[in-house]
């Protein structure tokens, strides 16, 4: 279903059963980069999907979201109202990015990550605004690994890696890498404990509540 108030660019491919609400723009601005919206995607009113983006099947992009150039969204992912993604960013499958988050460019969000509302991510520690003699900054956003959970109002600094299934408490400022399966919070965030086993996601081809590095049997270990 496509409403009359939408705008669809010339290089856009729409899958089946796509729902596009009022005042949505897809494939903006007109460029040669293809934009792909796969089957079953929902685009809420006021959303702008820039050229070169791809949105995977059954994902839901809610109201007033901006996805800048070359944002790749996986399958069955939910992006909440008012989220701003600056582009050149990879978002995996089964991700939930809740309302008003800012996703910087050149970052990666792996499968099954959760981000609470109003999170901020950054991609450079070298601010060169109006200072051309300082040169161009190197852009590198954070990496959020599979199953990581990020509380509301968290700020994650450039290049930081939040490990697999790590948990970051609300209001934290994450200035350094957080290892897998660790709990961290504070300003700056510090590791304070371990994610309890009953909260671990099941890994592919592994029994529930077993870490990837613990999945081998005694007989299979070298």
Q: Catalytic amino acids?
A: 126
Choose among 154, 184, 175, 178: nearest CA to 164: 178
* Tokens describing residue 135: 């040169």
d(CA 43, CA 14): 12
Taking a C-beta distance cutoff of 8 angstroms, is the pair 47, 27 a contact?
no
d(CA 104, CA 91): 12
Choose among 36, 38, 41: nearest CA to 26: 36
Taking a C-beta distance cutoff of 8 angstroms, is the pair 67, 49 a contact?
yes
d(CA 34, CA 185): 41
Choose among 149, 51, 55: nearest CA to 98: 149
Choose among 124, 125, 174: nearest CA to 149: 174
Cα torsion 40, 141, 165, 183: sign: negative
d(CA 144, CA 15): 29
């Amino acid at each position: 279903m496509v409403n009359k108030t939408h705008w669809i660019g010339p290089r856009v491919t729409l899958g089946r059963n796509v729902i596009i609400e009022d005042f949505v723009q897809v494939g903006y601005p007109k460029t040669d980069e293809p934009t792909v919206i796969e089957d079953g995607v929902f685009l809420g009113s006021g959303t702008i999907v820039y050229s070169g983006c791809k949105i995977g099947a059954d994902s839901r992009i809610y109201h007033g979201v901006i996805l800048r150039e070359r944002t790749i969204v996986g399958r069955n992912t939910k992006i909440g109202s008012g989220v701003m993604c600056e582009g050149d960013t990879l978002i995996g499958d089964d991700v939930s990015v809740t309302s008003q988050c800012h996703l910087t460019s050149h970052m990666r969000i792996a499968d099954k990550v959760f981000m609470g509302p109003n999170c901020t991510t950054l991609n450079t520690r070298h601010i060169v605004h109006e200072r051309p003699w300082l040169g161009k900054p190197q852009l590198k956003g954070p990496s959020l690994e599979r199953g990581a959970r990020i509380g509301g109002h968290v700020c994650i600094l450039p290049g930081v890696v939040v490990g697999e299934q790590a948990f970051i408490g609300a209001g934290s400022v994450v200035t350094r890498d957080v290892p897998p399966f660790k709990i961290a919070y504070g300003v700056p965030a510090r590791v304070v404990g371990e994610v309890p086993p009953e909260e671990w996601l099941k890994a592919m081809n592994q029994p529930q509540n077993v870490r990837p590095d613990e999945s081998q049997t005694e007989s299979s270990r070298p």
